[in-house]
A and B are shown apart, each in its own frame.
Chain A
């Protein structure tokens, strides 16, 4: 939490491994964003019911990744929320539908700015 919470909607981090999730949270909060953390798609949708989300940050090796993406696509409101997927060996900001690839946390600010989070 910091002074910029009111300026930026929440970034929801979906990651099942604790230390990876902590690293993602650190990267997001360092850039002034508010982060919430969940471990899987079920928890993500519980949060999404009560919190306005600016973006969702996850990674494609998450065991529930396919279920998460499928449910997001079908959801009435969350289908429009950008999803940032960590994939270090790709081009930053490459877009696939509503999903954007993030190669390096150093570029997360620029990517979130493009997404207007």
Chain B
């Protein structure tokens, strides 16, 4: 990985892809963090791939330059370590969430995490892509989205998803959102 990326308005998705073509999001990266941690710490090439969930701006720095900056051991290094800890927390919490919680709850958490980072209540995304993020079938997303739409929490039409009632979505979401929320505190690490 030649560059590390720092999203501004964009949101990236770290995806685990299986041999049969199925995939699921294992991590979400927005303004609070960076893509390319594994390249910086010198571990072998990642087995996961990055996708853009929400298009927008991002800054990039060459991985070698960023490594040199980290080796100076000042505030950038501290920020990287703090973010790395947060990112590991996100991955591990979402792993447990996928085991214990319903698709509707996970959909709600994912939607909250995404809109925290995009800072926009309207998202252009297909249900097929949502299904890839959640690691479920498209029909499962349709069922979960229909339930949330019936409740008035969202409206979805032809690839346009609008958050109508954020508080209701937080009530649908499981406890994992409380652990992972970054938007309300305006947390930024990098």
Question: Which residues of A does B touch, CB under 8 Å?
Answer: 15, 17, 19-20, 23-24, 27, 59, 61, 86-89, 103-106
* Interface contact B146-A23, CB-CB below 8 Å: yes
Could you jot down 9 A-B contacts, CB within 8 Å?
A: A20-B137, A24-B143, A61-B139, A86-B138, A86-B142, A88-B139, A103-B158, A104-B156, A105-B143
Contact with A106, one of B138, B146, B159 (Cβ below 8 angstroms): B146
Question: Given A87-B138, A89-B126, A104-B157, is A19 in contact with B143 using a C-beta cutoff of 8 Å?
Answer: yes
Does B126 contact A23, Cβ atoms closer than 8 Å? no
What class of interface size applies to chain B in its complex with A? 20 to 34
Q: If the complex has contacts A27-B146, A105-B146, A106-B146, are A20 and B140 also in contact, measured as CB distance less than 8 A? A: yes
Residues of chain A within 8 A of B140, CB atoms compared:
17, 19-20
Q: Distance in Å from the Cβ of B137 to the closest Cβ of chain A?
A: 4
Q: When the two chains form their complex, are residues B127 and A89 in contact, meaning their CB atoms are under 8 A apart?
A: yes
Query: How distant is B74 from chain A, measured CB to nearest CB, in Å?
Result: 47
Which of B103, B141, B149, B157 is close to A19, meaning CB atoms less than 8 Å apart?
A: B103
The reply to whether A104 and B142 form a contact with Cβ atoms under 8 Å apart is: yes
Q: Tell me whether B146 and A61 are in contact (CB under 8 A).
A: no
If A89-B127, A89-B128 touch, whether A59 touches B146 (CB-CB below 8 Å) is no
